[in-house]
Amino acid sequence: MPRILHFPALNSTNAYAKEHARELENGTVVCAEEQTAGRGRFNRKWFSAKGGLYFSVLLKTENTQYLPNLTQLMALCICQTVRELGVPAQLKWPNDVLVNGKKLSGILSEAVLENNRFYALVIGVGINIRQPDLGHVGQPAVSLGELHISVTARELLNALLARFNARLPKALAEGFSSFGQEYKALFPYIGQTVCITAADRQHTGTVRDISSAGTLLLNTPQGPKEFSIGDMNA
């Protein structure tokens, strides 16, 4: 089992994992009961009151080919883990987990650089369990407690890490294709009209597919487009 560092409070588990990347072993998990400066994607704030699960996994890997896919694998593992608890969770590309259109979990992955070269990846996960106030995270949110699911942060973390670590070696070697069928089975947007925000531009179109590399394929009035990063709104 990887080493898990538990803290009562941190500014951000991602910030801690990045700051201490050198001295922490590959696979170390940094977990905090609450965060005072939790961060989301696109410089958003991530409300991190006690009662949620907040953790970051530090991955020191030489193989950087499939890094974005590791975040997608984490999203899939979260989705599958909460589905086992009876939650009808689904995936929103690239790595959000939603229940009935409301956000249950988000992931912020960040690279640690050394001398301008990739050194490690930090995959930061927030899951709403039973915080009194979910705050505003840019879209409607939901917690496991509101769905009448009783699970502790520690139980959820252990189940999720077991699943993720079992799948990680194959994902590092083969990328999205090692779990793509499972991801697509939980991705309900194929054929739907969505808006993708990427590089400050908005692109509206119909989702054609997720490619074997995990990119989003969109049919737009201007022709087919492919996105490897972005924010999707249905």
Q: Does 108 bind ligand BTN (CB under 6 A)?
A: yes
Picking from 190, 51, 29, 233, the residue whose alpha carbon sits closest to that of residue 130 is 51
Return the residues of window 56-75 that contact ligand BTN according to CB under 6 A. Answer: 56
Q: How far is the CB of 174 from ligand BTN (least distance, A)?
A: 25
User: Is 102 near ligand BTN (CB under 6 A)?
Assistant: no
Q: Does 35 bind ligand BTN (CB under 6 A)?
A: yes
Residues, the chain:
234
What are the tokens at 76?
Answer: 């899939």
218 binds ligand BTN (CB under 6 A): no
Q: Does 18 contact ligand BTN by CB under 6 A?
A: no
92 forms part of the interface with ligand BTN (CB under 6 A): no
Instruction: Please say whether the beta carbons of 80 and 163 come within 8 A.
Output: yes
The smaller minimum CB distance to ligand BTN, of residues 139 and 219, is found at 139
Task: Identify which of residues 106 and 205 has a Cβ nearer to ligand BTN in the complex.
Answer: 106
Per CB under 6 A, the list member of 29, 125, 160, 216 interacting with ligand BTN is 125
* Interface pick for ligand BTN out of 39, 92, 167, 203 (rule CB under 6 A): 39
Minimum CB separation of residue 96 from ligand BTN in Å reads 6
41 is an interface residue for ligand BTN by CB under 6 A: yes
Binding site for ligand BTN (CB under 6 A): 12-14, 35, 38-41, 44, 46, 54-56, 96, 106-108, 124-126
